[in-house]
């Protein structure tokens, strides 16, 4: 799998609203909802898409907030798969 350069990562982040690089191997975004139920429903939708794509984010749920972190675990870096998954997630909100 192709590792993305820092320039590629920054360029791809420009295409996504609110996503940030936490280190050179992952990106994250926090989503806020009206309540816990909506946060859980969103996390469930993300899980279903992750299964379809076979690319699974780390999911942290704190009451009405869901933080998603994407990395390509097998490569220990960011790849195109992370940005593809981020775009899919964006369509769920």
Q: Which domain holds residue 81?
A: 6-90
Whether residue 68 is contained in a domain is answered as yes
**Considering the domain boundaries, does residue 33 fall inside one?**
yes
In a domain, 84, yes or no: yes
Confidence of residue 3 (pLDDT cuts 50, 70, 90): confident
Residue 1 lies in a domain: no
CA nearest to 63, candidates 41, 39, 80, 83: 39
Q: Cα(15)–Cα(8) distance, rounded to whole angstroms?
A: 11
Would residue 80 count as lying in a domain? yes
CATH for 37: 3.30.1360.20
Query: 77 in helix, strand or coil?
Result: strand
- Report the distance separating Cα 37 and Cα 64, nearest Å: 8
Total domain count for the chain?
A: 1
Per-residue pLDDT tens digits for 4-46: 989 999 999 999 999 999 987 999 999 999 999 999 999 999 9
Q: What is the pLDDT of residues 35-75, one digit of tens each?
A: 999 999 999 999 999 999 999 999 999 999 999 999 998 87
- The pLDDT value recorded for residue 73 is 86
């Amino acid at each position: 799998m192709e590792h993305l350069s820092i320039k590629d990562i920054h360029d791809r982040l420009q295409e996504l609203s609110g996503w940030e690089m936490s280190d050179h191997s992952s990106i994250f975004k926090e989503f806020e909802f009206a309540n816990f139920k909506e946060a859980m429903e969103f996390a469930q939708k993300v899980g279903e898409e992750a299964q379809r794509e076979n690319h699974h984010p780390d999911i942290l749920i704190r009451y009405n907030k869901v933080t998603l972190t994407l990395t390509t675990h097998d490569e220990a870096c960011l790849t195109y798969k992370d940005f593809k998954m981020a775009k899919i997630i964006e369509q769920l909100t």
